[in-house]
Amino acid sequence: MSPNQPIKQALLSTVTKLRWSLTSLHWGGIVDWPRAASPEPISADESSCVGQPATEQENSTDRERALRLIQRELGNCTRCRLHQTRTHIVFGEGSSRTSIVFVGEGPGYDEDQQGRPFVGKAGKLLDKMIKALGFGREQVYICNMVKCRPPNNRTPNSDEIEACSPFLVKQIEAIRPQAICALGACSAQNLLRSSSPISRLRGKIHHWRGIPLVATFHPAYLLRNPSQKSAAWQDLIELHRIVSS
Ligand code: SF4
């Protein structure tokens, strides 16, 4: 070991702690702050498969192929009544080789219009949460319990979730992330087959088919209840710890 190694490690640890503190303040709404340099999101070039070991590139291609097949199987789905009122199916999007899959409840108005998950106000907050973890949106995978918007943004019914969830299961199994983040009660309760409130499901590590799962508040809830952001921040720290280990 070089004599400078312990100093380097101590410096790295200090810089990491400082980055987390500053990002926490910023994410918690303290924006009038000269921002510390946080790690830049990996550029499109860097995040491509170029230069990766062949096995990882092959795995990545396999996952993308699997996701395409799942989407093809879903097709113009009419398996539940939600198809009657949707504009677009919101399949899910992001990196197939991500370490985190975020699972929300279902598409809202903006998502239904655009066919993309979490693109409204709640999506903007989710983007900040993802950034706080040190990722860009394109580096994680985002999807929902149901892929069509429930009328008036109501909570999806259990039969609708039952009809749609086989596709979600296949998506997560295809990606096999290091961790799942369940956003909100609907997602957490259905993935964990629990009726406990989100306030009791959050704050601990669960497992879904062997994959660590952290439950936290839905970003839409956090917009209405900003005082809960600090609790959600603790959940993100746990998530970060899992994917960093
Ligand atoms: S919510 Fe899922 S199961 Fe229901 S119609 Fe849409 S894609 Fe099909």
Distance 99 CA to ligand 1 centre (A): 26
CA 69 to CA 163: how far, in whole Å? 18
Going along the chain from its start, the domains and CATH numbers come out as 49-244 (3.40.470.10)
- Looking at residue 33, the DSSP 8-state letter turns out to be S
Measured by CA distance, the residue closest to atom 4 of ligand 1 is: 80
Residue-level pLDDT at 179: 98
Q: Is the CB of 163 under 6 A from ligand 1?
A: yes
CA 82 to CA 77: how far, in whole Å? 10
Of 242 and 11, which is predicted with more confidence? 242
Residues 6 or more apart in contact with residue 129 via CB below 8 angstroms: 27, 219, 232, 236
Place 50 in a pLDDT band, splitting at 50, 70 and 90.
very low
- 194-232 pLDDT tens trace: 999 999 999 999 999 999 999 999 999 999 999 999 999
Distance 94 CA to ligand 1 centre (A): 20
Q: Is the CB of 146 under 6 A from ligand 1?
A: yes
Of 53 and 59, which is predicted with more confidence? 59
- 226-241 pLDDT tens trace: 999 999 999 999 999 9
